Structure formats: structure tokens, C-alpha cells
Amino acid sequence: MEESSFLWDIWVDEVLSKLESLKLLRSLRPIHLPKVVADRCNSGSIATYPLNLDRDIKFFDGPQKWDRASVEVNISEATFRKWLHDAPSAGDDNEVESGRDGKLKKLFVFSGNDYLGLSSHPTVIKAATWEHGMGPRGSALICGYTSYHRLLESSLADLKRKEDCLLCPTGFSANMAFMTAVGSVSLLIAGTKPSKDDKVAIFSDALNHASIIDGIRLAEKQGNAEAFVYRHCDMSHLDALLSNCSMKKRVVITDSLFSMDGDFAPLTKLAKLRRKHGFLLVIDDAHATFVCGKTGGGAAEKFDCETCVDICIGTLSKAAGCHGGFIACSKKWKLLIQSRGRSFIFSTSSPVPVAAAAHAAVVVANNEAWRRQAIMKRVQEFRSLTGIPVESHIISLVVGSEDKALQASRHLLELGFHVTAIRPPTVSPNSCRLRVTLSAAHTKDDLIKLTSALAQCIVFKEVEVCSPSYSKL
């Protein structure tokens, strides 16, 4: 067993013993809902569970007509006009317009996160058609955790090749829960406010997601952790920070695929540093889960370093086409996080239809491997059509000023393409960009039309793919 896993196992065991002695360990006990419930709306009829694993899950060996629903949307003319002029809106434009003449404008979506097109899959829709309401409403620790939630956790743990998994209401809350839990380790071991060397040292990539940043800030504010930010994907800088750190409890956390830049974290190099320095390696695999790797296991599977990743945090609102977050980890870490992760403890659990639909999406994604192949083909086609050396299905076209990005986005909108301009504070000044996302539901013809439209407002040879390194922490 590597030193990092060994030391953290000891510390987590110590914390769990302390929590048990204080009677602060929290348990998850799944509720099994009735298989048949009378439908009160229709006297005499019976509504059953919406999904039978043997009967209702259907797979397809290629694109179907319903896949287009995830990449084609309609907006009202009123919304279109306001959007085109960047005018503020209260969101009631569609209601006003459709009530008058019903005119709608079709847009091709190249800015969403439904990378595999699963949100419109018949099996996912069937699973979400829950005739008994939302299920028990409460936090997972009270009454909101059902056999459906447990089934989803088990399928995600298998996907990530981890011992267990903890569901959270969102990916944001999953990162927050982990950070508050890991920050509590030093406090619980010390029994009082820890000294500097007894705190948890958290090393974070400069371009990590806001949920990681906010979680670190909370852990620091509680006085249990100290943050160290390393330059984006700069392993020499991280190595130097680790070498000069006297704190023993070390965590390195990074996005696996960066949402605003489209580049991968150097996971093989991080694995090498993990062996050298003995830290806990945590990745936020939100944008790579289901898309990358032979089975959709994510970035760690893609780079063949799953055993080096101690904890994998993810979301079900991207390639799964559903909603929710998760933390794939060991049983010990799960017990710690569900006992000390505040954003998990004090949130209502996901509605049962959402959990059922997410589980269906996991099963479909695993079996319809053509979706991963299709999205990788779209990446290759975009590269060929533009000459831009993109790495992933997230394509960040840095154009510079805010005016340039907005002008390009408006031009694309006029041509029927939904491509968002990303501006400060999401990105640093003068690194404004068009963020293009590709989906398995897109076709080569879609890409030809998009790149033709892009060529009218940007010069491909002058476009930067990724932004300069800067810190958001």
C-alpha cells in the first residue's frame, strides 16, 4: 500500500473512532418503496414502478430521431431579439410571445453539457416517469434515501472502480461536502484548533471549478486547512510547493477536464508526484465521466491511472443528462463525508424519479458505447475542419476582449447557433472566449455548418485554444 493511502487511512480511522465515541456517526438506511401503489387520480387503475430492469431498458446501436432533442431548441422571437441586443430579461418573453402569435426560432445548441445526448433517451424518460410523485422528501439521513438512490450509488462505484459512492444533490454540493469533511480531520484529531503543521494542506489547480474553490475557502475559514494554489497544470510548481510544505496531511485536488479551457489535467504526472510526496489525490471528473475511457469511467480510465486517484467527485448533470452529484470513494471516506459534509447533511436528497433516471442513464451510457465513439469522432472532425488542435469535446476559442466575444456570439446567434460568450469573472480579463461543446447527437453536417459560421467571425489561425494561467482562488 502506498504511503499516501496508508497515512490517510490511519487518519480517517482515527476520526471515525472519535466520531463514534461522540455518537456523531451518521447512517444511511435505504427505504424500499411499495412496488404497486393505487393511482388515486383514476379509480380502479394501478400505477407500477416505471422501470423494470429486465423489460424496460432498451439500447440502440446508433443515433435515433429523439437524440436531436438534446441539441435543437426553440426560442420566441421576443427572446431572440432581446438576446441579440444583450437586453435584460425576466424570462417571461416566451410566455408573452407564444400568447400572441406563437412564432419560434430554432437554434442548434453548441453550448450545453449533455455530451452524450442521454436526456432525451427513451429509457431515461421512462425511468423519470414516476407516477407516485417525488418520493419521500427529506435529507438522506432522515427519510430521503431510497433503494433507488442506493442502486445509483452502486452503479457509480462500479463505474469508477471504487469501493462505494455517496450521492449529493448537486456536483457543487459534492465538492463542498468533501472539503468540509476533509477539513474536519485535523480538528477532530487534535481535539482543538490545530496548529499550522497539523492542519490539512490543500493544493489546488489555479483554474479549478468554483465549487472546489468555495469548499476550500470554507475549510480555511473554519481554521482547519490551508490552501496552496499551483499554476494551471504546472507540475514543477506543484512539486516545489509540496517539497517546501511541512504539513503532513496533504490533499491535491484538480478538475480532470477543465470546463472553461477543455484541457485535461496531467493525471499521469500527478500520479507520479503522489508516489513521491504521499498526498491524497482527488479529482473532479464532472466533464469526463461517461465520455472518456473505454467504459466511460472518465479521465482516470482514459489515462490508465484509476488506482492512483483516491477520491473521484462527479456530477450527473453533464453527460448523464440528469441531475445530482456524487463522491466515489472508500467506505471509510463515505462514512466520514456523510457524517461531516455539511452540504450533504443539510440538503434534501434528489427526488426518486431523478435517481431512477440517472441510474438508467448510467446503464445506457455503459451499453451504448457508440455515443463515446461518436463524440470523439466529432472532436476529430472539428480539428480537421478548423486546424485547431483541440483535446476534448469542450472547445475554448479565446478571442481576447469582451466586445469581440459578444460580437462573435451574436453573429452565431443570428445564424441559428447557440454558442455562449464567456466573460469575466468566469475567466480572466482579455481571455474572453467562445465556449463550444460537442455532443454525440451532433452530426458531421452540423459541424460543417458551425465551422462555416465561425469562420465568418473569427480567424482560426489566430485563435488561442486555452487561456493564460491565473488563479481564481
Contact 460, 387 (CB under 8 A): yes
Buried residues in 403-439 as b, exposed as e (16+ CB within 10 A): ebbbebbbbbbebebbbbbbbeeebeeebbbbbbbbb
Distance CA 362, CA 321 (A): 10
With vertex at residue 405, the alpha carbon angle to CA 431 and CA 468, rounded to the nearest 5 degrees, is: 10
Give the number of C-alpha atoms closer than 13 A to the C-alpha of residue 186, restricted to the C-beta side.
25
211's CB contacts (< 8 A; 6+ apart) are 171, 172, 173, 174, 175, 176, 284
Q: What is the mean pLDDT of the chain?
A: 90
Torsion of CA 266, 270, 271, 272, to 10 degrees: 110
Residue 48 — very low, low, confident or very high, per pLDDT cuts 50/70/90? very low
Tens-place pLDDT, residues 361-377: 999 999 999 999 999 99
Share of the chain above pLDDT 70, in %: 90
Q: Which residues pair with 433 in a beta bridge?
A: 398, 422
Tens-place pLDDT, residues 10-22: 999 999 999 999 9
The candidate with the shortest Cα–Cα distance to 204, out of 162, 158, 254, is 254
The candidate with the shortest Cα–Cα distance to 254, out of 209, 220, 199, is 209
Tens-place pLDDT, residues 206-248: 999 999 999 999 999 999 999 999 999 999 999 999 999 999 9
The CATH classification number of 370-462 equals 3.90.1150.10
Burial class (CB in 10 A: 0-12, 13-18, 19+), 189: middle
- pLDDT above 90: residue 93: no
Distance CA 355, CA 154 (A): 12
- pLDDT above 50: residue 154: yes
* Locus of grid cell 467504459: 295
* 392 SS3 class: coil
Locate CATH 3.90.1150.10 in the chain.
370-462
Note if the bond before 425 is cis, omega within 30 degrees. yes
Residue 473 — very low, low, confident or very high, per pLDDT cuts 50/70/90? low
398-401 long-range CB contacts below 8 Å, 24 or more apart? Answer: 398/431, 398/432, 398/433, 398/463, 398/464, 398/465, 398/466, 398/467, 399/432, 399/433, 399/434, 399/458, 399/463, 400/430, 400/431, 400/432, 401/430, 401/432
280-284 and 432-437: which strand pairing?
unpaired
What Å distances lie between residue 156 and 177, 333, 363, 389, CA to CA? 18, 15, 10, 32
Q: Which residues pair with 422 in a beta bridge?
A: 433
Q: How many helices and strands (H and E) does the chain possess?
A: 16, 15
For residue 9, which phi and psi values (nearest 5 degrees)?
-60, -40
Burial class (CB in 10 A: 0-12, 13-18, 19+), 194: buried
Look up residue 43 and give its three cell numbers: 379509480
Tens-place pLDDT, residues 97-142: 454 556 789 999 999 999 999 999 999 998 988 777 898 999 999 9
- pLDDT above 90: residue 83: no
Other C-beta atoms closer than 10 Å to the C-beta of 124 total 26
Contact 2, 321 (CB under 8 A): no
Length of the chain in terms of residues written: 473
Query: Given its phi and psi angles, is residue 261 left (phi above 0), alpha (psi -120 to 50 degrees) or beta?
Result: alpha
Look up residue 425 and give its three cell numbers: 469573472
Distance CA 143, CA 135 (A): 10
Q: What is the pLDDT of residue 6?
A: 78
What does 397-454 look like in DSSP terms, one character per residue? EEEESHHHHHHHHHHHHHTTEE-EEE-TTTS-TT-EEEEEE--TT--HHHHHHHHHHH
171's CB contacts (< 8 A; 6+ apart) are 211, 284, 286, 313, 314, 315, 316, 317, 324, 325
Residue 39 — very low, low, confident or very high, per pLDDT cuts 50/70/90? very low
Topology adopted by domain 3-30+126-367: Aspartate Aminotransferase; domain 2 (3.40.640)
Is pTM beyond 0.75 here? yes
Q: Which residues pair with 252 in a beta bridge?
A: 203, 281
Tens-place pLDDT, residues 379-388: 999 999 999 9
Q: What is the pLDDT of residue 320?
A: 97
Locate CATH 3.40.640.10 in the chain.
3-30+126-367
Q: What is the pLDDT of residue 190?
A: 87
What does 189-251 look like in DSSP terms, one character per residue? HHSSSPPGGGSEEEEEETT--HHHHHHHHHHHHTTSEEEEEE-TT-HHHHHHHHHT---SEEE
